[in-house]
Structure 1
Amino acid sequence: MSAISRESLLSLEEYARQRTAFRSRVMAHKKDRTVRIGEHVTLVFEDELTIRYQIQEMLRIERTFEDDGIRDELDVYNPLVPDGSNWKATMLIEFPDVTERLLRLRRLIGVERRVWVKVAGSEPVFSIADEDLERDNAEKTSAVHFLRFELPPDMIRAVRAGGALAIGIDHPAYSAAVDPLPERIRLSLCGDLQA
C-alpha cells in the first residue's frame, strides 16, 4: 500500500471547504474499524483514510502549510498505514475516573503486547506495540498505544476467504475477547490485506 504523499493532500483552504463532508465520511468509515474489547479497551484499526484525516486535521489545527512542516506530519503518520501484510491500530484504555485510571494503568503494564488476533483454527498473532517510542515504564502503562499485527500469509488467505476473525487481550489484569468479530468489521479489515 502506498504512503500518503504531499501532493495528495488538500490545501488548508480546500480542506476547510470539504472538512464537514470528509469528517462525516471518516466517522462512518471508522464504525466498521472500531472494536471494543471488554469494558475499557477500544481498538481503532487505521488505514489510509483514517490516517489521511488525522494528517489533514493536524495541518489544520497547527495551520501548517510549509513543506517542511507537512513533511514532518507525513513522516509521523505514514508508518501507521497498513502495508498489505498487517493491521495497525490505535489502542485506547478508557477509565473515566482519574483515580481509577491511574490505579488500573499501574496494573496494566505490558497489556499492549498481550492483544491478539486470530482466524478460526489458527494460533493467535500478538501485537507489536509502540514501535515509535515506549509508552510505558516501571510504574504504569499509557492510556494510548499504537499496535501492529504482522499476519502470516496463511492467515491472510484464511481471513480473505471468509474465515471468522477474533480479537482479544490476554493479560493478568485484563482478559476479554470478541469472538467472532462482526462481519462488517472483518470485511473492512480485509481491505487492508494483499493476497
Structure 2
Amino acid sequence: MTITRDSLMTLEAYSKYRKENKPQIIAHRKLRSVHLGEHITLQFESETSIRYQIQEMLRIEKIFEEEGIEQEIEAYAPLVPDGGNWKATMMIEYPDVNERKRELARLIGVEDRLFVEVEGHDRVYAIADEDLDRENDEKTSAVHFVRFEFTPAMRAAIQAGASVRLGCDHTHYPAHMDIPADTLASLAGDLAPA
C-alpha cells in the first residue's frame, strides 16, 4: 500500500491510535532491528514503520496543512521497500563523543561495504544514501540509508527459508552474522513473490 495524504490519520485520530498501539509498533521496530557487531545497527524499514515515522513527525511538529504533510511523505516514503529489496536506516553508535569522532573518521565508506548474503547466492552490497551524500573527506555520517536489491532467485530462496547473513567487510569494521529467524520471517514478507 502506498502512503498518501488520504491514507494517513488526522492528528486527533493518530493520538488515539498511538495510545492504543504504541507497544505493537515498538515491537515491530524491535523485531526488524539487527545489531551488526557492537556499533552498527540496521533498522529495516517497512510500510508500517515508515507510516508510523511520518505520523510521529506530523504529531511532533503539529503539521496538519497539506503542503507540510506532502513534504513529510516525500522525505520518508522512499524508505518503504518496493517488493524487490530491503531498505534500512543504518546507525553507527559510539556513546563516547571522542571515540565516535575518531571511529567515524576511520569508517569512511563503511555504508558501501555492508552486504546481505542469501544462502547459495552471491553477496548483495548496499546501495547507500541515494538522496544525498552523507560523508566527506574527514568522516562518515552516523546515519545512512541503505537498500539491498535482490534477484528473483534470491527472493524465492529467502521466501523458501534460506538462511541470510548480514555483514560488513570494511577494513576497520569486519563483522557478519546470521539474521535471526523471526526477523528474517518479517523481512521475507517485504518481498514480492519471485
Secondary structure, counterpart of 1:95 in structure 2: coil
Judge which range, 4-13 or 94-103, deviates more: 4-13
Q: Which amino acid aligns with 1:193?
A: L
Distance (whole Å) between structure 1 residues aligned to residue 133 and residue 185 of structure 2: 31
Select 2:180's aligned residue among 179, 182, 190: 182
Q: How big is the shift at 1:118?
A: 1.1
Secondary structure, counterpart of 1:138 in structure 2: coil
Distance (whole Å) between structure 2 residues aligned to residue 7 and residue 154 of structure 1: 36
Q: What pairs up with 1:1-195 in 2 under 5 angstroms? A: 2-178=1-177, 180-195=178-193
Aligned residue-pair number = 193
TM-score using structure 2 length: 0.97
Two-structure CA RMSD over aligned residues (Å): 0.8
- Gaps spanning 5+ residues in structure 2: where? none
Secondary structure, counterpart of 1:55 in structure 2: helix
Secondary structure, counterpart of 1:42 in structure 2: strand
Residues 48-75 of structure 1: CA deviation (Å, up to 9, x unaligned):
0000010001001111000011011111
Distance (whole Å) between structure 2 residues aligned to residue 42 and residue 23 of structure 1: 21
Q: Which amino acid aligns with 1:134?
A: D
Distance (whole Å) between structure 2 residues aligned to residue 177 and residue 163 of structure 1: 16
Secondary structure, counterpart of 2:22 in structure 1: helix
Distance (whole Å) between structure 1 residues aligned to residue 112 and residue 103 of structure 2: 16
- Gaps spanning 5+ residues in structure 1: where? none
Q: How big is the shift at 1:15?
A: 1.1
Identity rate, percent: 54
Asked if the contact 1:23/1:53 (under 8 Å) is kept, the reply is no
Q: How big is the shift at 1:115?
A: 0.5
Q: Which amino acid aligns with 2:180?
A: P
TM-score using structure 1 length: 0.97
Q: How big is the shift at 1:134?
A: 0.5
Distance (whole Å) between structure 1 residues aligned to residue 19 and residue 112 of structure 2: 36
Q: Which amino acid aligns with 1:112?
A: E
Q: Which amino acid aligns with 1:185?
A: T
Secondary structure, counterpart of 2:147 in structure 1: strand
